[in-house]
Amino acid sequence: MSERRPKGWPARATIVEVGLRDGLQAERASLPTATKLALAEQLLAAGLRHLEVTSFVSPKAVPQLADAAELLAALPRRPGVELSALVPNAKGAERAVAAKVDAMVVFLSASESHNKKNLNRPIEQSLADIAEVTMIAEAARIPVHAAISVCFGCPFEGEVPLSRVLEIAEELAMLGIRHLSIADTTGMATPPLVRERVEALRQALPGVRLALHFHNTRGIGLCNVMVGLDCGIDRFESSIGGMGGCPFAPGATGNICTEDLVYLLHECGVETGIDLEALIAAAKAAEAAVGHPLPGQVMKAGPRLKLHPLEAVRTAAG
């Protein structure tokens, strides 16, 4: 297997499944907590060890995730499994502590316009809110990860300067963040931009572990993953079946698809610890749960060597 792996790529990658959060926040209908729970169980059974399961945000802003506390209370806790949730402010942090989340994910945007749409405040205020969250989390001994949205372009402002992404990442590092997700909320990342931004962030913040969060809005999500791997990144966020999208960004569509990503990684000799067939079954369950077709492709075609009986297809003759 390893001889297939391109030079410089990591031998193993961690996948953070964000379907229950990024995926379901984009669905018109709210799924029952029991359906979310069943899906989470299936994802864990497939071998995923990092699930971003919900958000402790305002239920008025994201009603689909209003059951965050109930869901966390019902989810199984297993050694080696990390159940994380988005937390925007002190109120969210207190709710997350009460729900005994394994990790909080603070978030803000690299553009003022998207931050105002998504969090109803300027970036400066969000940084102050994040400082409060980190204090609450520290007192409760809960790790805090961070995510920066619209790092590769903003649907309201266009290009986002690299210097802005670096400044915000540095502010987060000063607040003690050691796990940072660089997010492409509306699929504006391109291979050259990924290389530029990942290299600059790695150089500026060698002590911070980076993850990449891509959306497949313009069809090149997995190309961007390959550039990330080339730069040595070994942590990616994706969503089962390719569900997803930010309700506060126009045209935002699905995340890169977990089973398509796992297929790519395995075929390139990168281990994930995940069972692709079990993941495909979970993607089909997710599709049934949301009640409309999902964009994932491997869930439709099956693994590469899935063979079909000869008699299943007619012969073109006559």
Segment interacting with ligand COA, rule: CB under 6 A, options 114-122, 191-199, 204-212, 255-263:
114-122
Our finding on whether 25 is near ligand COA (CB under 6 A) is yes
Q: Which of 33, 42, 64, 89 binds ligand COA (CB under 6 A)?
A: 89
> Phi then psi for 38, rounded to 5 degrees?
-65, -40
- Strands (DSSP E) contained in 130-276 are 144-149, 179-184, 209-214, 235-238
Using the minimum distance from each CB to ligand COA, give the nearer residue, 111 or 149. Answer: 149
CB of 160 to ligand COA, least distance (A): 15
Using the minimum distance from each CB to Zn ion, give the nearer residue, 104 or 136. Answer: 104
Segment interacting with ligand COA, rule: CB under 6 A, options 38-46, 84-92, 172-180, 281-289:
84-92
Helix (H, G, I), strand (E, B) or coil at 278: helix
What are the distances in angstroms from CA 247 to CA 23, 26, 126, 254, 266? 10, 6, 19, 11, 32
CA distance 318 to 316: 7
Q: Which of 15, 21, 22, 43 binds Zn ion (CB under 5 A)?
A: 22
> Could you confirm whether 151 is annotated as catalytic?
no
Q: Which residue has the CB atom at the shortest distance from ligand COA?
A: 92
CA nearest to 193, candidates 183, 180, 206, 203: 183
> Of ligand COA, Zn ion, none, which one does residue 42 interact with (CB within 5 to 8 Å by kind)?
none
Using the minimum distance from each CB to ligand COA, give the nearer residue, 18 or 229. Answer: 18
Our finding on whether 58 is near ligand COA (CB under 6 A) is yes
Our finding on whether 62 is near ligand COA (CB under 6 A) is yes
Our finding on whether 120 is near ligand COA (CB under 6 A) is yes
Using the minimum distance from each CB to Zn ion, give the nearer residue, 136 or 193. Answer: 193
Report CA torsion sign: 77, 80, 86, 87: positive
> Of Zn ion, ligand COA, none, which one does residue 43 interact with (CB within 5 to 8 Å by kind)?
none
CB contact at 8 A, 19 and 240: yes
The contacts of residue 232 (CB under 8 Å, 6+ apart) are: 8, 9, 10, 202
Of residues 223, 246, 257, 268, which has the active-site annotation?
246
Report the residue count for the chain: 318
> Of ligand COA, Zn ion, none, which one does residue 91 interact with (CB within 5 to 8 Å by kind)?
ligand COA
Helix (H, G, I), strand (E, B) or coil at 246: coil
> Phi then psi for 218, rounded to 5 degrees?
-115, 20
Using the minimum distance from each CB to ligand COA, give the nearer residue, 9 or 248. Answer: 248
Using CB under 6 A, count the residues that bind ligand COA.
20
Our finding on whether 239 is near ligand COA (CB under 6 A) is no
CA distance 109 to 12: 29
CA distance 121 to 195: 30
For Zn ion, the binding residues (CB under 5 A) are: 22
Catalytic positions are 246
